[in-house]
Amino acid sequence: MTDYRFLKACNREPVDATPIWLMRQAGRYMEEYRTLRQTYGILDIIKTPELALEVTMQPINAFDLDAAIIFADILPPLEGMGLDLEFIKGTGPVIHNPVRTPADVEKLATPDAREALSFTLEAIRLTRAELDKRQIPLIGFSGAPFTLASYAIEGGPSKNKVHLKSMMYNEPDAWDKLMTKFATIAGDYLLAQAEAGAQALQLFDSWVGELNPDDYRQYVQPYSKQALDMAKEAGVPLIHFGTNTNGMLEEIRDAGGDVIGVDWRIDIDVAAQRLGDGVAVQGNLDPVALHAPWDELKARTKKILDRMDGHDGHIFNLGHGILPTTPVDNVKRLVDFVHDYTS
């Protein structure tokens, strides 16, 4: 198992070529996915292990990717906690009963992930069996405590996170209880995914870039650390990813993770230098660059690879999820070029 190029890079071991996978690599930019979505909703796919398997494999069948990531979403764990989640077309996910008061926090359940999220764990078992035949490792993932709390409190898209920060400022005890619950949920869920067969785990802190470093250190870092410490028990590589965090990369690193994912808003060698020798680095092509003509896209890709030349522990990825408007041809060319250029 540890012979996989992707897992070796996570552990900063030498590799024969730079591994590549793409955040949201299964999704709307692929025709196979759009076809399936004409019949099924996102939650239908996530909750039907055979469909989740099928979607997870779509990009694996189409491209020479070095890892699969289980098709799931960061929000279903909220349902088991008692939150009423709905994906509304055009708006995105909405929580109909958002958490706004200390009493709301008290009411939140912390169910066992093995029961509440059994569908994703079963999807992982099915997918792992399939991937073993192809010699490709599988990544599991969870939203980070802060990002889960953001959705739970804001209840929908939110520009400034005023509800969230207000709870942080005004109700520090409730905040601590809330974040402890989410840390438990996230850590337990990651661990359960590894038990089910995930060979690496990624913690997504997609919204943490709205915080200043002081708030991160006080109100978030201890809980991300708690979740990552729980997940560490699984003995598989942990990837820790945030966006808009270039003012506090060191704080993200210090919360834990064998690999730190960085967005495209920084030169990756500058990020790697700031992060130091103790972690691998994942990133960091601008997802919009996949819309460029191939020569432009190649030049951008080459720059990232050149910057990480000689640095054991680089996993090529985008700086955020792939966009639905991405041309499939460019994805294929990107994946092949990363391998060809570095081998």
Active site residue 134: no
Calpha distance 116→325 (Å, rounded): 33
Out of 24, 66, 104, 216, the active site residue is 24
**Selection from 108, 98, 77 nearest residue 167 by Cα:** 98
- Residue placing its CB nearer to a copy of itself in the complex, 237 or 283: 283
Structural tokens at position 71: 């098709």
DSSP state of 326: -
Catalytic hit among 37, 217, 253, 265: 37
Query: Closest CB to a copy of itself among 94 and 288?
Result: 288
Candidates 40, 73, 300, 333; catalytic one: 73
Q: In terms of CB distance, is 200 or 255 closer to a copy of itself?
A: 255
Distance CA 269, CA 147 (A): 27
Task: Please report the beta strands in 243-279, taking only residues with DSSP state E, as ranges in sequence order.
Answer: 259-261
The rounded distance, in Å, linking the Cα atoms of 223 and 221 is 5
CB of 44 to a copy of itself, least distance (A): 26
* Length reported for the chain: 343
Cβ neighbourhood burial of 28 (10 Å; 0-12, 13-18, 19+): middle
**Given 4, 33, 151, 189, the catalytic residue:** 151
> Which spans of this chain sit near a copy of itself (rule: CB under 8 A)?
160-162, 165-166, 169-170, 209-215, 244-248, 263-267, 270-271, 284, 286-289, 291-293, 296, 300, 303, 319, 323, 325
Contact 248, 206 (CB under 8 A): no
Q: Smaller CB distance to a copy of itself: residue 136 or 266?
A: 266
- Among this protein's residues, is 274 annotated catalytic? no
24 counts as catalytic: yes
Residue numbers annotated as active site: 24, 28, 37, 73, 151
